[in-house]
Structures are given as C-alpha cells and as structure tokens.
Structure 1
Amino acid sequence: MQSDEQLAAHAQQGNAEAYAELVTRYQQRLFRFLQTRCASRADAEDALQDAFVDAWRYLHSYNSRWRFSTWLYRIALRRAARQRNDATPGEQVATDPGGDPLAVCIAADERENLWRTARRLLGEDAVTALWLHSVEGMAIKDIARALQRSLPWTKVSLMRSRRRLRAALMAQEAASPESEAYG
C-alpha cells in the first residue's frame, strides 16, 4: 500500500486515480472534522467538497517534505473558516443497525455535547488542536504546522485544553440531577 505522500506525488504528475485514492482515504475523517467546524451538516459537506477541489487545484504547491494530511487539513480549515459562524456543530448521526437506538442517540448526543462544551470554553485553534490530536491521532508537530503555531504553543494548548475541558465536564456532572439521584 502506498503512503499518502507517494499518492500525492503520483497525483502531482497527473494521476487522477492516485488523487481519488487520497480522497477515499480522507473523505470520512475530514467530513467528521469539518462537522465540528461548520454551522451545519450542509456547510460541512460544502467545505469538504471545496477542500478537495482546492487540494487538486493547488496540488502542485504540495511539498512532500511535509505530511499530506497536514497540508489537507490546513486547506479544510481555511474552507471551514469561510463558512463558519458561531452556531454549534451540525447534526452528527451515529448509525448502528444492530445496536440499541436509544444508546446510539445518547452516545451521539454526548459526543456533540463534548465538542459544544469545548467550543464554548476554548478558542477555535485550541479546539482544532484537540480534535486533530484526540480524534485524528495527528502528531503534535503536524498539528502545529497545520495551525501555523509553534510546537510549544501546541503542546501547552493541548494540556490546558484537556484540563479545562475535564474540569468543566466534572463540574457539569456534579451539578446534574442524575448524579444526585444515583450518587
């Protein structure tokens, strides 16, 4: 299996199949990421399509010294910024036909609440860094590059973001009526 960087090099030479493989690899991950950055599902879909079009259009500027994912997420961030407003993320639907529908809904709501809380407490760059690290598993140096921030800023931001989010969620849990009923 070819690496993303190898596929990008082939795509730079005009190989549309190599680029199609990159789109296939990143489409779902990038869409989930954009849902946390855009006001609605439709905006995330538009930003996703525009990001892939921009990536194809500017593929000649991609430098293989850097990870392809970092370059692509940077393009997606710019696209989301153009469409973003202060609304909460779009509907995130979890589907598991064999699972309990109520459990699926509760899990989806908890994920949405977590990222809504994060957006309320943290700055946009901090939420993005947290998402890229926690959900996408991106390396800290690549996150710093994607956000055009320093490595120390990224490390400190991730540490502080996790602490603030953990404290807020613990306070929220302590204040919820269910914790008193079951505690």
Structure 2
Amino acid sequence: MTARSVEQSDQVTEGSLDDLTLVSRARDGDTRAYEQLVRRYQGQMYRLAVRMLGSASDAEDAVQDVFLSVWRKLDQLNDDAAFVGWLYRSTTNRCLNLIRARKPSADVDLESTESAAGYTDPVRAAEVGAQLTALAAALLKLTAEQRTCWLLREVHGRSYDEIAGIVESSTASVRGRIARARAQLAEVMQPWQ
C-alpha cells in the first residue's frame, strides 16, 4: 500500500467524504470506501426490503446479497452519481424476485414494537402497534409493484421520475400504481382515521 492510498483510506474512516468520492475509490478497489457506502445506505435498503418482503430475516439476506452483488459489479456503473439509484433498483429487483418466488407471509413485523415503544402511555402504544400491524397487512395485499412504488414514494421520499427509473417503468405507470395503492390503503386504514 502506498503512502497516498494509506492517507486516502484514513480519510475514508472520517466519514466526511461524499458519495462520488467514495464510489470512485471503491471502484478502484478501496474496501474501506465501500464499507463507508454500505454503512451509509444499508439502513435505507433494509427498511425498503423489510417493508417489501414482510420479513426481517429475508430483508437482511436480500440487502446483504445486494451489497455483495453491487461490490462485484461496481466497475459496470458508468456514472458514480447514479450509485444510490442503482442500490434502490438492485434492492427493489431482488425483493421483487423473492416475492415472485414465494407467497408472502402474513406474519409481518415492521419494527412495530420499536415504534410503539416510544410511547409512555400503554394504551397509545398498543394503538400505534395495532395501526402498524394493520398497515403491514394492508401493504402485503397490494401487488408487489404497487407496494414497491408506494414505499419508494411515501417512506423513502423518492420522486416519481426516480421511482420510474428504479422500477424500469414510465412515470405515468408509477403514478397509477401509487394512486391505486393509496386508495387501497386508505380503504383498509379507514377504521384508524
């Protein structure tokens, strides 16, 4: 390892580098740079996967597979700025493939105990937990494509154009899927309003 690469690796541990620099360094074989990218985005990808799959263990496996695959194919990324979109697309595609390969489970925990645990009033905590359980069940009743688009928009705050790129569809299709998902979820969640 040269003095310059040691210096660059030391900078990576500071966590102050932007994504473009980290992606570029990771493409050049800097594992510390890639580790920093993983730490930066694994939470977002996990939250997307657990909501799509309805299973924490399946989500962990899917995200691990995605980050391993992305590392192996990093040299195929033509634009460093497209890294985050590529992660979302890879995670979404991996989850959709898993959904297609199996029937979704009704036993879903969307971290409801953690979310409800923040309430000191036990009645309110139970109510929030029940709402989250109902939402998780309602999400599983959506088509995989509707669920994906809805999660990317409502939970991850992605634009319609970004979602269209991630799911490889038109913006109009994405808007339609989200509208149908919202309508179905509103109907199911009506008792909670």
- TM bucket normalised to smaller: 0.7 to 0.9
Q: Give the Cα separation in 2 of the matches to 1:3 and 1:123.
A: 36
The count of corresponding residues between Structure 1 and Structure 2 is 172
Q: Which residue of 2 aligns with 1:31?
A: 46
* Structure-2 change in CA distance of 1:39 and 1:155 (3 Å): closer
Q: Deviations over 1:40-72 (max 9, x none)?
A: 221111111111111111111123276322211
Q: TM-score, normalised by structure 2?
A: 0.75
Question: What one-letter code is carried by the residue in structure 1 that aligns with 2:152?
Answer: L
Moved over 3 A (4+): 81-84, 96-99, 101-106
| Structure 2 runs not aligned, ≥5 long | 1-15
- Which whole-Å CA distance do the structure 1 matches of 2:163 and 2:70 have between them? 18
Paired position in structure 2 for 1:95: 114
Question: Could you tell me which residue of structure 1 aligns to residue 7 of structure 2?
Answer: none
Instruction: Give distance in 2, aligned partners of 1:159 and 1:143.
Output: 14
- Partner residue of 2:166? 146
Residue 12 (1) aligns with residue 27 (2): yes
How far apart are the structure 2 equivalents of 1:119 and 1:66? 32
Percent pairwise identity: 26
* Deviations 1:60-102 (CA, angstroms, capped at 9, x unpaired): 1123276322211221123323433321364233437764273
8 Å CA contact retained: 2:134, 2:189 = no
One-letter code aligned to 1:67: A
Does the 8 Å contact 1:8/1:68 carry over to 2? yes
**Does the alignment pair 1:55 with 2:70?**
yes
Q: Taking structure 1 as reference, are residues 100 and 51 closer, same or farther at Cα in structure 2, changes over 3 Å only?
A: same
Secondary structure, counterpart of 2:84 in structure 1: helix
Q: Secondary structure at the match of 2:62?
A: helix
Contact 1:31/1:45 (8 A) holds in 2: yes
Structure 1's 26 and 101: CA in aligned 2 closer, same or farther, altered over 3 A? farther
Quote the Cα distance in structure 2 between the aligned partners of 1:59 and 1:112: 37
In the alignment, is residue 130 of structure 1 matched against residue 150 of structure 2?
Answer: yes
Report the Cα distance in structure 2 between the residues aligned to 1:118 and 1:98, rounded to whole angstroms: 23
Q: Secondary structure at the match of 1:37?
A: helix
The C-alpha deviation readout for 1:120-173, integer Å capped at 9, x for no partner, is 1x3211111110111111121111111111111112222232233213322xx1
Does structure 1 conserve the Cα–Cα contact (< 8 Å) formed by 2:96 and 2:144?
A: no
In 2, Cα distance between equivalents of 1:89 and 1:73: 25
TM-score, length basis structure 1: 0.79
The residue that corresponds to 2:178 in the other structure is 158
Code of the residue aligned with 2:106 in structure 1: it is T
Tell me which protein shows more helix as a share of its residues. Answer: 2
